Amino acid sequence: MENNSTIKEEVKLSSRLWLGGADCMMTTLNNILTGGGLTFFFVNYFKMDPKWSATCWLLFGLWNAVNDPLFGYISDKTKSKLGRRIPYIRYGSLMVAAVFVLTWVLGGKGGDFQMFIQMLISLFLFDALYTAIATSLYVMPFEMAVTNEARSKILFVKVIFGLVALSVPLALLGMIEGILNTSLQTFQIIMTIVGVAAGLIMFFSTFFYKEKGYTQEEEQYPLIQSIVNCFKNKSFLAFESISFSVTFIQTALMMGLSYYFSASGVNMLYCYAAMFVGIIFGIWLWMGPGAKMGIKKSMVLMCLIFGTALAIMMVFGQTTIAGIVGFLGSGIGFAGGMYLVPLMNGDVIDYDEHVSGLRREGMYAGVNSFVCKPAISIANAIFPIMLGWFGYDPNIEIAAQSATAKVGIRISWLSISVVLLFLCAFLIGKFYPLDGDWWKEIKQKLARIHDEKQKAFEEEMLNRKA
């Protein structure tokens, strides 16, 4: 007779805190470097031709087509005493910190082509390490628990730490023009401190959480079949619409901050305060009423709120009120991106296990990055190009640009994000299937299977030692 008892999973608070801290540090480094810092450093400060920057980001996008799915596959097949994911976090953390620091210390020397090579090398090295670490951190909640109740506790901590991962880049990127114009050395010291702190926190975090051992015993599909099976999962296709859009929007919003505040004269402090109020409200909304609505309805609502707020700021963003509204809605959207998107992804992976019988978190994370990482390149490449359509001159200060160029900054910064969010609301509402009582029953069944497999694995390990 099938056991229909409800499974209650618990993850230690210390594990949640250290995992959240490590994820926060990796996200912080990525948000600074790929969220506009690298482009501003080379293009605006060292005056590299924007065409070289755009070319760099497009080549980088091609690299991601190979890098991410391949690592996801390798990660799923990794076998070690530490597990499938932890080795990459522990040993990659110090290396990615070194690359991050050296990017700002050694970059910006020579002509356009030399700077292009420097920028390209920094991106390739950073992203190779980022992929290994961030993918492992991203899937750890799915390794540690299967029920959304247990995962939500892990993700809640990640969201709280995510405020740091958001606020530090926001502050730095919002002030990057002033810091660089005042002192390049001061900027480099700040980046060195951030990089070293991040590397150490990620390294030490790996001693405080662990994976379920039985997953290493499962045989995985061959690489091509593993990739193809991801795209056969219809829920994954619907998920990718929001995953791609959130990646693009986070990159685009970070990139345009310094431009927006310098061009509009809107008070940065008021906007950031509104955004953090929005994040706190969003955390309550998605974890409280949102939990009752379910992931699908919550995601549709998040897209509509986020898209409407950005549209208001795009049209009326020269005023303080519109700026506050835009940042308030962005905060609600960021909270959804940090909390709802991973929960949705976990459900997609769980459905795959329901069909295949295998845990393939790494492969799904890799294919997700394959689809979404180009959004980073597209955002970094298209923003300076769109600015040029409105007569933006990179050789003069942002505040001194023409009136047309200042309007163009808001359009270049926000228009694509608005379209993507409204499109996602439609696609998820129409095509995402994992919702309702039938899905809750499957989740409970998977939790029982995981519990049984882990107990069997631990007994086998004891017998081997004996």
Q: State how far the Cα of 345 lies from the Cα of 190, in Å rounded to an integer.
A: 34
| b/e burial code for range 244-259 (CB count within 10 A of at least 16 → b) | bbbbbbbbbbbbbbbb
CA distances from 107 to 37, 54, 220, 432 (A): 12, 17, 41, 44
Q: Tell me how crowded residue 34 is: count the other CB atoms within 10 A of its CB.
A: 27
Domain 13-209+222-435 in CATH 3.30.70.260? The answer is no
The pLDDT assigned to 218 comes to 67
**pLDDT block averages, 10 residues each, the chain of length 466:** 57 90 93 85 87 85 75 81 87 95 87 90 91 87 78 85 81 81 90 94 92 67 85 93 93 86 91 92 92 93 97 94 96 90 91 87 84 82 89 88 93 96 96 91 84 73 67
- Spatial CA neighbour of 30 closest among 97, 108, 75, 90: 97
Those residues with Cβ within 8 angstroms of residue 292's Cβ, 6 or more apart along the chain or in another chain: none
- Taking the C-alpha atoms of 236, 163, 209 and 367 in order, what is their torsion angle to the nearest 10 degrees? 20
Radius of gyration for the chain, computed over Cα atoms and rounded to the nearest angstrom: 22
Check residue 51 and give its pLDDT: 87
d(CA 390, CA 394): 12
As a whole number of angstroms, the distance between CA 6 and CA 52 comes to 57
pLDDT at position 321 is 95
C-alpha to C-alpha distance for 192 and 209, rounded to whole angstroms: 27
Residue 389: HSE in the Cβ half-sphere, 13 Å Cα cutoff:
12
Map out the domains of the chain as residue ranges.
Answer: 13-209+222-435
Question: Taking each helix axis from N to C terminus, what angle separates 320-356 and 295-316, rounded to the nearest 10 degrees?
Answer: 150
44-69 in b/e form (b: 16+ CB < 10 A) is bbbebbbebbbebbeebbebbeebbb
End-to-end CA distance of the chain: 33
CA distances to 7, 217, 245, 306 from 417, rounded to whole Å, are 40, 42, 7, 9
What are 105's two structure tokens?
């210390």
The single-letter DSSP state of residue 45 is I
Write down the pLDDT at residue 2: 44
Instruction: Encode burial over 203-224: b for 16+ CB neighbours within 10 A, e otherwise.
Output: bebbeebbbbbbbbeeebbeee
| DSSP one-letter string for 277-334 | HHHHHHHHHHHTHHHHH-HHHHHHHHHHHHHHHHHHHHHHTTSHHHHHHHHHHHHHHH
Question: At a CB cut-off of 8 Å and minimum separation 6, what does 117 contact?
Answer: none
Maximum pairwise Cα distance, the chain: 78
pTM of the model: 0.73
Q: What does the pLDDT read at residue 1?
A: 36
Phi/psi region, residue 47 (left: phi>0; alpha: psi -120 to 50; beta: rest), is left
Burial of 11 (0-12, 13-18, 19+ CB in 10 A): middle
CA-wise closest residue to 283 among 161, 168, 424, 160: 160
Phi, psi dihedral angles at 84 (to 5 degrees):
-85, -25
Q: Which residue is listed with tokens 């007779």?
A: 1
